[in-house]
Amino acid sequence: MEAARAESLKATFLDNIRSIPYGERIYECQQCGTCSASCPTSSQMDYSPREIIAALRAGLLDRVLDSNTVWLCSSCYSCTVRCPAGIKFTDVMYELKRLGDKYGFSSRKSPTAKMARCFVKTIDLHGRNAEGELMARYYLSTNPFRALRQLSFGLRMLIRGRVPLLPHGIKDTKNLRRMISAASPEE
């Protein structure tokens, strides 16, 4: 990645992080690795949480965003409660997910990212989740045949009436949409 683009990516990231409460604590990282050791999925990540901050400092954030790392964060907040520097690392991960999505890095192709985008579409439309629709969107955007792997689970849920087929939206979707577009018109 060329130097100018790497600089601009880093600057955007830091700007966004600073706008989140306690975001400026990211400068306090001592590279102790408590986050990586606490993370339930770091063993599967190309870059562990500690390495993400090291990459940021080295101007290599693009490598993190082109890897499998950020969407493996399940938002369990273990790193956040243990960080001796008070960095809210889960919020950092959220920001990296959004950054990769916005800048078109390969992290956005993760199935978890696809699921999240389908979720947003469903919520924006109905104001509430609609499981049937969410699953249909997700499997169509990934691989419809993957749905077969969930067949036995789906049937057991269906038998117990645990999968509503129609969405139960809210009444005032019109005003809800006004609110969410006022929140961030550029989104």
Partner 1 sequence: MIAPTTNVYAYYPGCSLIATNKAYDISTRNTARVLGIELIELEDWNCCGATAYTAIREKRSFVLSARNLALAEKTGRQLITACAGCYLSLHKTNKYMAEDAGMRQEIRRALQAGGMDYTGGVRVRHCLDVLVNDLGEEEVKQHVVRPFEGLRVAPYYGCQITRPFGDIDDPEFPEVMHRLLRWIGAEPVDFSMMTKCCGGMLMYTQPNVGMELVGQILSQAKKEGAECIATACPLCQINLEAYQAKAARTTGADCRIPVLYFTQLLGITLGLKPKDLALSDNLTPSETIFASRSA
Residues in contact with partner 1 by CB under 8 A are: 19-21, 40-41, 44, 71-72, 74-78, 80-81, 88, 90, 94-95, 97-98, 101, 110-117, 119-120, 123, 127-129, 131, 138, 149-150, 153, 156-157, 160-164, 168, 170-172, 175-184, 187
Nearer to partner 1, 59 or 142 (CB): 142
Nearer to partner 1, 145 or 184 (CB): 184
Angle between helix 89-103 and helix 111-126 axes, rounded to 10 deg? 90
Output the smallest distance, CB 79 to partner 1, in A: 9
Output the smallest distance, CB 27 to partner 1, in A: 18
Nearer to partner 1, 10 or 97 (CB): 97
In whole angstroms, give the CA distance from residue 141 to residue 21: 34
Nearer to partner 1, 62 or 95 (CB): 95
Angle between helix 3-18 and helix 89-103 axes, rounded to 10 deg? 130
Nearest to 96 by CA among 118, 83, 113, 80: 113
In whole angstroms, give the CA distance from residue 160 to residue 55: 48
Output the smallest distance, CB 83 to partner 1, in A: 10
In whole angstroms, give the CA distance from residue 123 to residue 175: 14
Output the smallest distance, CB 78 to partner 1, in A: 7
Nearer to partner 1, 4 or 179 (CB): 179
Output the smallest distance, CB 4 to partner 1, in A: 26
In whole angstroms, give the CA distance from residue 88 to residue 92: 7
